[in-house]
Amino acid sequence: MAERPIVLLTNPIHPDAVAILEPLATLVTAPDARHDTLRRMAKDAVGIIVRAMMPEDICDHAPNLKAMVRHGVGLDFIPVEAATRAGVIVANLPGSNTQAVAEYFFTALTHLRRPLYRLDAALRADGWDAARALANPTSEIGGTTLGIVGFGMVGSRVARIGQGFGMTVIAADRGDRAMPEGVEAVDLPTLFDRADAVAISCALTEETRGLVSADLIARMKPSAVLINMARGPIVDAMAVLAAVDAGRLAGAAFDVYDTHPLPPESPLLASNRLLLTPHVAAITTTSMHAMSVGAAEEMARILRGEPPKNFVNRDQLGQRP
């Protein structure tokens, strides 16, 4: 009997996904996501389901590796060029967490504009009148302008939801996408000039690293807010912090940072005008199930000798799995 292939899981996956793969492979879960651990555990792996940042040289330590499948969307977790040079298939799951990330944006936006938890705390601690007094500084999002940086799946979903709230939607995108009805295409300076709320939803590339600079942030209205649910290095977070603390920006929310986990000494943690979350925009029970099952199905196709549905480096590797 042929030896069963080994699939390395950088993190646990949903039991429904395990059930898809167990008939086809032996599943091994890494005890942690340190690069040395992943290099060591990839030695015998035929496939890797990726939920953690892979070391750039992972393929050098995995001579049997055939495929890496992203448990999610962002390809910055996988060294795609190195994988392609090694003949390793890369696949991901576009759309698997779109709704979760779009809903995160509006959860964060309503938190910044109308933080009901403060009213709840004041009602419990200080009584009815004290809590009602806090309602006056809050604001509605209907009738305001939503600026979206990056108009892919997440950006377009954010736009549709924003229109449902009665927001005017403008967007800046580096691709050649045609904007849907009701969305105005603008350049970045115009977007930062006009927007009352800015959504960062573009991918991290060499072109977008540092894209949202101090100069762009300085263009924003003092009443505006910025929410980054894409990747940390896209935004100059220290410039945002300085603007918020100086009262030149009403607030901001970050789900992503230059360094993960966010270091405890980070100055971002000292500001009570920032909403900070630990890279959870894409994580809900619904999305985690969809990503686990989707990744398992893609890996199962590859193990059966079929091409994955979303074959990222197909053109470079040819049509084969």
At 237-285, the pLDDT tens digits run 999 999 999 999 999 999 999 999 999 999 999 998 999 999 999 999 9
Mean of pLDDT values over 142-168: 97
For residue 177, name the pLDDT band (cuts at 50, 70, 90). confident
Q: Do domains 6-96+285-317 and 98-276 have the same CATH topology?
A: yes
Dihedral over alpha carbons 245, 265, 231, 285 (to 10 degrees): -110
**Where are the chain's structural domains?**
6-96+285-317, 98-276
The second-level CATH assignment, the architecture, of 6-96+285-317 is 3-Layer(aba) Sandwich (3.40)
pLDDT at 2: 52
The second-level CATH assignment, the architecture, of 98-276 is 3-Layer(aba) Sandwich (3.40)
Strand order of the β-sheet with 183-185 is 183-185, 168-172, 145-149, 197-200, 225-228, 251-254, 274-276
pLDDT at 304: 97
Question: What mean pLDDT value characterizes the chain?
Answer: 96
Do 39 and 61 form a contact (C-beta atoms < 8 A)?
A: yes
Asked if the model's pLDDT at residue 50 lies above 60, the reply is yes
- Residue 190 burial by Cβ neighbours in a 10 Å radius (0-12, 13-18, 19+): middle
Contacts of 319 (CB under 8 A, 6+ apart): 307
- Burial string for 235-264 (b: 16+ CB within 10 Å, else e) reads bbbebbbbbbeeeebbbbbbbbbeeeebee
Asked if the model's pLDDT at residue 210 lies above 70, the reply is yes
Mean of pLDDT values over 13-25: 98
Residue 9: strand pairing partners: 29, 49
Contacts of 270 (CB under 8 A, 6+ apart): none
Do 199 and 148 form a contact (C-beta atoms < 8 A)?
A: yes
Asked if the model's pLDDT at residue 1 lies above 60, the reply is no
